[in-house]
């Protein structure tokens, strides 16, 4: 008996992302505006509208103590109710009696049994790959080769009830009709490389689906062939025929091109898109030269491929309607029961669905496996499903469980939160018995530091959540079977919570060059090419500008405050508050020369009460105020000689030197570098030498704050100034 059907939980359900505004009571509604995304489903069916109900219990059948398989791929049933199951790694067939007892009936040399069929005389046909061979197996398990296709794969088999076997192959995309003597005739030679699915209509017509263009063919009894559908996805994964001539077509594709696959397609056109456990990237070659494959390699779809799937329903006129789509599941199998209901199975993770109406479905269960590879039904309505990794057989019971549970992923409030009330609705089923449990913690994955599960909450109109405040909350919903004939259902669940207000984040603070400031942006929102994002740059002596970037995790609108103090002082002086922009300019002309500290504080007080408002501060920014120009001191001058030379020193009290330029006569300025080659201090020595006696010389020295000093020399005024 399956007690827990689980889906791996990768991350917590985030509620904080995209929520704007001050910290206030918030509400989350499962089933209406938020998906359940369960960690586990224990006997609960989850409908596409978000409602929960009890589902049939899945009972696991035992393959036997001496047998196991990574994948079970196909199934069929004889007239006595015996179930035959085909396995991979290696190719095997198990027979289950109506009592659920299993025996190993057949084992071949190939890697997998890819398809099974039973004819009107209860003879079993077993298709194996990669040798493309069909065996006929009698009741005692004796087998002999029945039909050789001379192709790599057989993907589909069908016995049409008139002692003819239909065989769909992979490699050259041929559909064979094989008589009772094992003589085959090609009925369809498709331009696609693989015939992946076969089905039979009520009038005896045969349907065939392909991999390549995703085509569905119809082969009429008179031998005429026409194309019913090209579904827009690459592969037809399965076909099923329902009541009233309705045809269901399962299609899959990959959302990313695979380069290795494309190279092989150009070479021989024999690649198969991995949708169920077949290795498209390393197909086995015929004969002894086949490369040995790791079994997991051969059976597991490559992770690099991202799946997408869809199901079409074709009515008797041929009109197609999409009835289901998924952007992240491999659709493997379709099955219509005697009542005309469609069931389908997907992979990664394994999921079993029931179609209720076009684009309305119910998730019935998630077996502990990677794929649901095959679904079968009996005349009395029983449901059998096969899985891969591991290979298991499940049978759905006739009744639902007495009690079943769903556990949500941890709900992330985004910050430490107080949990309020929880409410749920059973719609028009007041007798439905539902219970709710909660636990909380501050880590994304529940561990021993989380609280214990709370006592049951049973008042659906509003029950306080007693779990301690914390960032994360997890819910367990339990449905109990009603004593009367009313079904048990939970249509919607909502909970309230109050996240703690979080302070703004100061992500960046930058002090611009002395004198730099910015004009406001134009009203039309346009900026000049190359202009800064916050306006056009300008320069004015004695101005300083600071800019910053602030974010708020709760979406609050931050307000900034600037404070100033001399380096080493204890008290801050208010420079400006209530700043709503991301920059501020001010004059330092009234300050004495020296070093100062600038402090930026950010608050969310605009959107929160004084009691809950938060404030944060950045590390102080150190800057200096320097009005004094550097000092140029001539140490040696021989400018009035034929080989002129001048040696001088430039010093500054506060700032490092930024540049020294020299003008000789009317020539353009030239940059002088200090004797040590680097302008990296407040005192540097320089030398200039020429090859002719100059008439005029001018030296200009600048410091890092933009202060400038000049020294001039002229032949008629040799003393310099």
| Residue ranges of domains in the chain, CATH in brackets | 5-41+403-499 (2.60.120), 57-400 (2.130.10.10), 505-625 (2.60.40.10), 631-714 (2.60.40.650)
DSSP string, 156-197: EEEE-SSS-EEEEEESS-EEEEE-TTS-EEEEEE-SSSEEEE
Distance between CA atoms of 272 and 605, rounded to whole angstroms? 61
Q: Three-state SS for 409?
A: coil
263 membership: H or E segment, kind and range: helix 259-268
Query: Which tokens belong to 630?
Result: 């550097």
Strand-pair partners of 636: 647
- Is the predicted pLDDT of residue 299 greater than 90, yes or no? no
Nearest Cα neighbor of 440 from 471, 403, 402, 461 is 471
Strand-pair partners of 712: 698
Distance between CA atoms of 106 and 112, rounded to whole angstroms? 12
Q: What are the C-alpha distances in Å from 466 to residues 418, 419, 604?
A: 10, 8, 30
Query: Which tokens belong to 644?
Result: 């002129």
Distance between CA atoms of 139 and 721, rounded to whole angstroms? 118
Yes or no: say if 402 and 57 are a contact pair by the CB < 8 Å rule.
no
622 membership: H or E segment, kind and range: strand 621-625
Helix, strand, coil shares, percent, the chain, to 5:
0, 50, 45
pLDDT at residue 704, as a whole number: 87
pLDDT at residue 461, as a whole number: 87
Distance between CA atoms of 38 and 435, rounded to whole angstroms? 16
pLDDT at residue 22, as a whole number: 58
**Helices in 421-471 by DSSP H: which ranges?**
none
Mean pLDDT of 62-75: 82
Q: Kindly indicate the confidence band of residue 257, based on its pLDDT and cuts at 50, 70 and 90.
A: very low
pLDDT at residue 263, as a whole number: 44
User: Mind spelling out the 3-state secondary structure of 107-141?
Assistant: ECCCCEEEEEEECCCCCEEEEEECCCEEEEECCCC
How buried is 348 (Cβ within 10 angstroms: 0-12 exposed, 13-18 middle, 19+ buried)?
Answer: middle
Q: Kindly indicate the confidence band of residue 89, based on its pLDDT and cuts at 50, 70 and 90.
A: confident
Q: What is the CB neighbour count within 10 angstroms for residue 692?
A: 10
Q: What is the CB neighbour count within 10 angstroms for residue 396?
A: 21
Q: What are the C-alpha distances in Å from 503 to residues 415, 574, 621, 648?
A: 11, 21, 21, 55
Which tens digits make up the pLDDT trace of 364-413? Answer: 988 889 999 999 998 888 899 999 989 999 998 777 878 888 899 999 99
- State the chain's mean pLDDT as an integer: 85
Residues written for the chain? 721
Distance between CA atoms of 207 and 219, rounded to whole angstroms? 6
pLDDT at residue 582, as a whole number: 92
Yes or no: say if 647 and 689 are a contact pair by the CB < 8 Å rule.
no
φ/ψ region of 141 (left if φ > 0, alpha if ψ in -120 to 50, else beta) reads left
Query: Among residues of the chain, what percentage have pLDDT more than 90?
Result: 58
> How remote is the C-alpha of 510 from its chain's centroid?
36
Q: What are the C-alpha distances in Å from 248 to residues 88, 232, 343, 354, 378?
A: 27, 15, 11, 13, 19
Q: Kindly indicate the confidence band of residue 7, based on its pLDDT and cuts at 50, 70 and 90.
A: very low
Strand-pair partners of 166: 158, 177
Which tens digits make up the pLDDT trace of 131-188? Answer: 889 999 998 889 999 999 888 899 999 999 888 999 999 988 999 999 999 999 999 9
pLDDT at residue 670, as a whole number: 94
Nearest Cα neighbor of 309 from 341, 275, 261 is 275
Q: Three-state SS for 244?
A: helix
Yes or no: say if 475 and 497 are a contact pair by the CB < 8 Å rule.
no
Nearest Cα neighbor of 36 from 410, 326, 408, 474 is 408
Nearest Cα neighbor of 333 from 382, 279, 373, 381 is 373
Q: Point out the least confidently predicted range of 28-42, 423-437, 672-686.
A: 423-437
Q: Kindly indicate the confidence band of residue 190, based on its pLDDT and cuts at 50, 70 and 90.
A: very high
Q: Kindly indicate the confidence band of residue 306, based on its pLDDT and cuts at 50, 70 and 90.
A: confident
Query: Which tokens belong to 417?
Result: 């939160």
Which residue's structure tokens are 């600037």?
562
Yes or no: say if 122 and 138 are a contact pair by the CB < 8 Å rule.
no
The verdict on whether omega for the bond into residue 51 sits within 30 degrees of 0, i.e. cis, is no
Query: Among residues of the chain, what percentage have pLDDT more than 70?
Result: 85
User: Mind spelling out the 3-state secondary structure of 289-304?
Assistant: CCCCCCHHHHHCCCCC
pTM (global) more than 0.75 = no
Distance between CA atoms of 270 and 522, rounded to whole angstroms? 62
Strand-pair partners of 474: 439
Yes or no: say if 688 and 621 are a contact pair by the CB < 8 Å rule.
no
pLDDT at residue 522, as a whole number: 61
* DSSP designation for 617: E
Q: Kindly indicate the confidence band of residue 632, based on its pLDDT and cuts at 50, 70 and 90.
A: very high
Nearest Cα neighbor of 562 from 536, 23, 550 is 550
User: Mind spelling out the 3-state secondary structure of 467-522?
Assistant: CCCEEEEEEEEEEECCCCCCCCEECEEEEEEEECCCCCEEEEEEECCCCEEECCCC
Distance between CA atoms of 296 and 88, rounded to whole angstroms? 11
């Amino acid at each position: 008996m399956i007690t827990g059907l689980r889906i791996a939980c990768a991350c917590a359900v985030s509620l904080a992302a995209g929520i704007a505004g001050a910290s206030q009571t918030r509400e989350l509604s499962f089933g209406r505006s938020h998906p359940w995304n369960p960690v586990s489903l224990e006997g609960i069916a989850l409908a596409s509208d978000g409602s929960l109900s009890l589902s049939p219990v899945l009972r696991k059948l035992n393959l036997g103590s001496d047998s196991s398989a990574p994948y079970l791929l196909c199934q069929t049933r004889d007239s006595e109710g015996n179930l035959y199951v085909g396995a991979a790694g290696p190719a095997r067939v198990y027979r289950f009696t109506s009592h659920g007892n299993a025996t190993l009936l057949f084992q071949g040399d190939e890697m997998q049994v890819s398809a099974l069929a039973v004819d009107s005389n209860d003879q079993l046909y077993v298709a194996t790959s990669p040798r493309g061979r069909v065996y006929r197996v009698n009741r005692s398990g004796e087998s002999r080769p029945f039909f050789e296709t001379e192709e790599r794969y057989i993907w589909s088999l069908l016995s049409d009830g008139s002692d003819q076997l239909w065989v769909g192959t992979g490699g050259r995309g041929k559909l064979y009709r094989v008589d009772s003597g094992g003589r085959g005739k090609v009925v369809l030679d498709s331009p696609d490389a693989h015939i992946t699915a076969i089905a039979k209509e009520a009038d005896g017509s045969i349907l065939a689906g392909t991999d390549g263009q995703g085509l569905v063919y119809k082969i009429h009894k008179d031998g005429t062939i026409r194309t019913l559908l090209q579904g827009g996805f690459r592969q037809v994964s399965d076909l099923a025929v329902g009541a009233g001539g309705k045809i269901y077509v399962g299609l899959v594709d990959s959302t990313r091109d695979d380069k290795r696959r494309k190279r092989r397609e150009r070479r021989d056109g024999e690649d198969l898109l991995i949708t169920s456990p077949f290795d498209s990237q390393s197909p086995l070659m015929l004969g002894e030269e086949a490369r040995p494959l790791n079994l997991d390699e051969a059976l597991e779809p490559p992770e690099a491929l991202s799946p997408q799937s869809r199901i079409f329903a074709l009515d008797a006129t041929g009109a197609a309607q999409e009835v289901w789509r998924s952007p992240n599941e491999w659709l493997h199998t379709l099955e219509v029961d005697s009542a005309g209901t469609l069931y389908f199975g997907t992979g990664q993770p394994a999921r079993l669905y029931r179609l209720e109406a076009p684009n309305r479905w119910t998730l019935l269960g998630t077996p502990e496996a990677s794929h649901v590879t095959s679904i079968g039904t009996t005349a009395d309505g029983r449901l059998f499903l096969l899985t891969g990794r591991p290979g298991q057989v499940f049978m759905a019971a006739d009744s639902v469980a007495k009690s079943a549970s769903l556990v949500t992923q941890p709900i992330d409030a985004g910050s430490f939160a107080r949990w309020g009330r929880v409410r749920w609705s059973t719609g028009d089923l007041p007798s439905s018995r539902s219970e709710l449990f909660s636990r909380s913690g501050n880590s994304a994955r529940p561990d021993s530091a989380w609280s214990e599960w709370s006592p049951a909450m049973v008042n659906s109109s509003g029950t306080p959540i007693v779990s301690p405040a914390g960032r994360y909350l997890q819910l367990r919903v339990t449905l109990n079977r009603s004593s009367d004939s009313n079904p048990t259902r939970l249509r919607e669940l909502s909970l309230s919570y109050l996240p703690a207000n979080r302070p703004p984040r100061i992500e960046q603070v930058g002090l611009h060059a002395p004198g730099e400031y910015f004009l406001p942006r134009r009203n039309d929102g346009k900026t000049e090419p190359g202009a800064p994002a916050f306006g056009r740059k300008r320069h004015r002596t004695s101005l300083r500008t600071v800019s910053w970037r602030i974010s708020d995790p709760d979406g609050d609108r931050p307000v900034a405050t600037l404070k100033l103090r001399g380096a080493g002082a204890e008290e801050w002086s208010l420079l400006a508050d209530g700043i709503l922009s991301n920059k501020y300019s001010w004059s330092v002309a009234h300050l004495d020369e020296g070093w100062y500290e600038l402090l930026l504080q950010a608050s969310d007080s605009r959107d929160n009460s004084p009691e809950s408002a938060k404030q944060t501060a950045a590390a102080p920014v150190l800057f200096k105020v320097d009005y004094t120009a550097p000092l140029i001191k001539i140490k040696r001058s021989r400018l009035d000689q034929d080989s002129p030379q001048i040696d001088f020193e430039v010093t500054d009290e506060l700032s490092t030197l930024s540049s020294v330029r020299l003008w000789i006569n009317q020539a353009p300025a030239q940059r002088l570098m200090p004797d040590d080659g680097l302008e990296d201090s407040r005192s540097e020595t320089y030398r200039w030498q020429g090859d002719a006696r100059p008439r005029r010389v001018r030296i200009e020295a600048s410091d890092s704050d933009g202060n400038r000093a000049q020294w001039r020399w002229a032949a008629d005024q040799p003393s310099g100034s």
